[in-house]
Structure 1
Amino acid sequence: MNINKRNLKLTNMKQPFTASSSSSSLIRKARLSPYLFTLLAFIVFVAILYGEDFVCLLGQLDPNVDRLATITEKRWEKLPFSIGKAPDGCDLFSGRWVWDDSTRPLYEESECPYIQPQLTCQEHGRPDKDYQYWRWQPYGCDLPSFNATLMLETLRGKRMMFVGDSLNRGQYVSMVCLLHRLIPEGQKSMETFDSLTVFTAKEYNATIEFYWAPFLLESNSDNAIVHRISDRIVRKGSINKHGKNWKGVDIIVFNTYLWWMTGLKMKVLHGSFEDETKDIIELSTEDAYRMAMKSMLRWVRKNMDRKKTRVFFTSMSPSHGKSIDWGGEAGLNCFNETTLINNATYWGSDCRKSIMEVIGDVFRKSKFPITFLNITQLSNYRKDAHTSIHKKQWNPLTPEQIANPVSYADCVHWCLPGLQDTWNELLFAKLFYP
């Protein structure tokens, strides 16, 4: 299916509703148990401005809470690239999935040559396409149709960069697929230089880039190809090791989460990886993550111009490695899952509330406007959308694996087209209607 023609027009574009409200809290259909009232002040503290993934936290505290809308505060002047705003009181990240076979998918897998073979599920034998036809519908408002022409014209003469891990790379590839069909052959290219991949739209003098930095800080997992290291180490105060490659971008989208989740502790290096004797200490995952978040915000403050540039941070991408979490049979996972989780109170088991608290605490103190893309809850429902076994396998499968597909199903990454196109629709909405 081609990109819908209405998406190519600058006029008659459906007006989006963005997550905005007054500085007072907006609580919808929430059944608050008494002890949650005592935590309301803390919730407001965490949620102000960014709409952090505090619904994940609430879900763990009280599964009877249906929904708590994003709480925002008018702290910033008009943000760069914004062309309007929506009425107060709509949370883009709170809603439901609806079947839509008239406008979805936004492109075909076979039409986008930039999708890496880890994400081409149809090419690797997935028998169904249902995962491609779901559209995110916020409660009481709509997402705008993704307007590829508007996006490309906005990027004219500019650089957009995604920085982070393979999940952010999936979102990056999705963005390229959403845009590339408007660019004539011979006027576009994609090249990779170590950790940096660059898609160039020559006619627009624009680039859309991805930079591999799974921790944002320098680490022993920074090799873009060989990075499967179980004993992971990050280097304190090393943001500029990668950050020097991010300078000059106009729009930057960060993510970092999955690689931190290796246990309760994280190894942190003081000094250099080149030192003969290495000074390594262990910090709690939360303290190490806080260190990285502070470094990222410090880099943003020093290197981004709040009057010309925009910064986004994408929340954790959930996995579906245990079907028992959603009421399935023990010992199974996302393999062969083709339906959505239809329980609105489902929060998943990998929602690490302590990390969300770190994000809320650090971002609250930011002196630079960061737009938070809260993709966690809406992605939690999508156990159907993972690559599972339908991807290129870089290592030969053992006979035992072949006999038991559950054992090698990838329940972390997502098929394209699919869920990550919605992440970019949310990015589009927040870029132009913050």
Structure 2
Amino acid sequence: MQRWSRRKTHFPVLALFFSVFIVASILYNERNIRKIHDRKEEQQVPIRDSTLLTSVPSKVSSKHKPIVAAASLDRFTKCDSTRKFHGRRTETVYQKLDSSQRREKQHRCDLFSGKWVFDNTSYPLYDESRCPYMSDQLACHKHGRTDLGYQNWRWQPHDCNLKRWNATEMWEKLRGKRLMFVGDSLNRGQWISMVCLLQSVIPVDKRSMSPNAPLTIFRAEEYNATVEFYWAPLLVESNSDDPVNHRLNDRIMRPDSVFKHASEWEKADILIFNTYLWWRQGPIKLLWSDEESGICEELDGVGAMELAMEAWADWVASKVNPLKKKVFFVTMSPTHLWSREWAPGTEGNCYQENNPIDMEGYWGSGSDLPTMRMVDKVVDRLRSKVSVLNITQLSEYRKDGHPSIYRKFWESLSPQQLSNPASYADCIHWCLPGVPDVWNELLFNSL
């Protein structure tokens, strides 16, 4: 201001007046602009601020309370009270993706439509006993299964052939990258399958496995690559995020938050997501991020899953650049709990089943069609950023592929259970080698 006054020596008083006027105007305008800006920040979440999109509810209190990070959920989290879900939704970005942003459907062979062919020459792709990372939950031969035909089935698409599995070629696809499986124990089974498929070509002193934790990492030094599994059974944050201690009476989730998990996802180059089975275990309690009083809402499994899928989809829409990161969503893995569905008049399950279902187009209650339609609706809006591994129909045929009673059970079995093996047969997970190897062959063909 002084320098300006010296230049205007002929009109000192006038210059001083104008200086004071201009400074006052600037201060006034700046204060008003700041007020407007602060008001807007309180009232809405900027579309471009993608870090907030999956945690801020669409309806904000008229009191304009500041948004603070909610406390993390764990297995000790409880609801102070529960009320019926009242229809609240989260902010969604993925719905704004228009058709021009979706991947155009290519007219090519449908890898997911076909039949199982017995092939004891090329399959299995590895030996169960020679994979040091095999899980006792999936090692069926080790735990007494003697009919090993389940290891010899090859998936044959109707109008083309799958490219033959090649571990070295897969490592080249992964060179310098992080491949991460995200989900529940079924996705963990697919991860173990992938590690068993890949580990044999890596020298023992050039590979390592981190201890079991929410994030477990298999490393291959010479490729500077990792194959990882991240435990997130509901995708969003929940009280079941402990990979060991997650058997709880009440499932509580934050339907509007993937922050905790996404901090790991964003580091991966290739992501394989799944979620399904845990939503079939009864109603879910919802604890929103801005709910301070511990009041939960309750919603049925499909409705709660849709909320979680929308939060996941928001993260994909706002964070995933398909030129840098590949995202796959694995459709539901079917169960085989009722033999009457493929053999009318019987009252068993997958126990003692040793051949696939040969009825093309077979569909059992282990695959829930309304849930599949909901998932398809959400994922379809992300087609430019997400590829689907549609393993449901081909896995439906494999009633013979489950561990049944041939696995390690972590809890003691009662005399009553032991006298009726079908009562404790595992018809949910899959023996290895087996069906999940084919899921990984489909992934190999899709990369």
Smaller-chain TM-score range?
A: 0.7 to 0.9
User: 8 Å contact 2:253–2:286 — kept in the other structure?
Assistant: yes
RMSD over equivalenced CA pairs, Å: 2.0
- Mapped to 2, the partners of 1:75 and 1:270 lie a distance apart of 31
- Deviation digits for residues 271-311 of structure 1, max 9, x if unmatched? 379x6x41211223333222111111221233332112100
| Equivalent position to 2:295, from 267, 279, 285 | 279
Alignment partner, residue 323 of structure 1: 339
Q: Which structure: larger Rg?
A: 2
Per-residue displacement from partner, 1:65-122 (whole Å, max 9, x unpaired)?
Answer: xxxxxxx9994499xxxxxxxx934211110000111100000001101111100001
2:315 matched residue in structure 1: 299
Q: C-alpha displacement at 1:183, in angstroms?
A: 0.3
2:288 maps to 1:270: yes
Q: Structure 2: which amino acid aligns with 1:403?
A: S
Once residues 346 and 407 of structure 2 are traced to their aligned partners in structure 1, the CA distance between those partners, rounded to angstroms, is: 24
Change (3 A) 1:305 1:74: closer
Which of 414, 417, 420 does residue 401 from structure 1 map onto? 417
- Of 148, 155, 159, which residue of structure 1 is paired with 2:167? 148
Q: 1:409 to 1:328 in 2, by over 3 A?
A: farther
TM-superposed deviation, 1:146: 1.1
1:330–1:77 Cα change, 3 Å: closer
Q: Match for 2:236: what amino acid?
A: L
Q: Kindly indicate whether the alpha-carbon contact (under 8 Å) linking 1:301 and 1:368 is maintained by their aligned counterparts in 2.
A: no
Q: Which residue number in structure 2 is paired with residue 129 of structure 1? A: 148
1:169 aligns with 2:188: yes
1:377 aligns with 2:396: no
Task: Tell me the residue number matched to 2:380.
Answer: 364
Report deviation, 1:333: 0.7
2:248 to 219, 226, 229: 229
Bigger mean CA offset, 298-307 vs 203-212: 298-307
Q: Which residue of 1 is the match for residue 135 of structure 2?
A: 116
Residue 391 of structure 1 and its aligned partner are, at CA, apart by 0.5
Match of 2:209 among 186, 190, 209: 190
**Partner letter of residue 286 of structure 2?**
V
Q: Which residue of 1 aligns with 2:330?
A: 314
Deviations 1:216-236 (A, max 9, x none): 011111110011123212112
* Contact 1:160/1:209 (8 A) holds in 2: yes
* 2:105 maps to 1:105: no
Comparing 134-143 and 347-356, the one that deviates more:
347-356
TM-score (norm 2): 0.75
Structure 2's unaligned 5+ residue stretches are: 1-98
Unmatched 5+ stretches in structure 1 = 1-71, 79-86
The 1-side partners of 2:164 and 2:254 are apart by 42
Aligned partner of 1:267: which letter?
K
Q: C-alpha deviations, 1:310-343, integer Å up to 9, x for none?
A: 0000000000011111115543111111011111
For residues 360 and 104 of structure 2, the distance between their equivalents in structure 1, rounded to whole angstroms, comes to 35
1:192 Cα deviation after fit: 2.7
Instruction: Identify the residue that residue 252 of structure 1 maps to in structure 2.
Output: 271
Question: What TM-score does the superposition give when structure 1 sets the normalisation length?
Answer: 0.77
Does residue 204 (structure 1) correspond to residue 223 (structure 2)? The answer is: yes
In the alignment, what sits opposite 2:435? Answer: 419
Q: Does 1:388 align with 2:384?
A: no
Alpha-carbon distance in structure 1 between the residues aligned to 2:381 and 2:163:
31
Aligned pairs, number: 349
